Amino acid sequence: MKNASPPTLDVLLIIRSASTAPLANGAIFDALERQGIDVHRADVTREGMTILCKGDVKTLRLCAEQLASLSFVDGVSMERCNDRGA
């Protein structure tokens, strides 16, 4: 099937801030939304923020790379979430 859509995953994005200033949450959410990533939950942490989201692997990786290139971001990692009933 050539036109089959890629599988989607639930992923925890961990974004580390490059400074003590709060992250530009609006810019981060806008970037994810523009790429079609569904954000389920976002939490601010001392180091930056974590975002529970859902999207296809290729798009999630691209978003993580783009976020990591922002001047106010020190790094981004992704953790696949287990599929346990809602």
Walk along the chain (86 residues) and give the pLDDT tens digit of each residue.
566 777 889 999 999 999 887 777 888 888 899 999 999 999 998 899 999 999 999 999 999 999 899 888 999 999 999 755 44
The domain of 75 spans: 8-80
Residue 1: inside a domain: no
Q: At what angle do helices 25-34 and 57-68 cross, to 10 degrees?
A: 150
Residue 85: its pLDDT value, please? Answer: 43
Structural domains counted in the chain: 1
Tally Cβ neighbours within 10 Å of residue 61: 13
- At 24, which CATH number? 3.30.70.1150
What distance in Å separates the CA atoms of residue 5 and residue 81, rounded to the nearest whole number? 20
Q: Taking the model in full, what pTM does it have?
A: 0.82
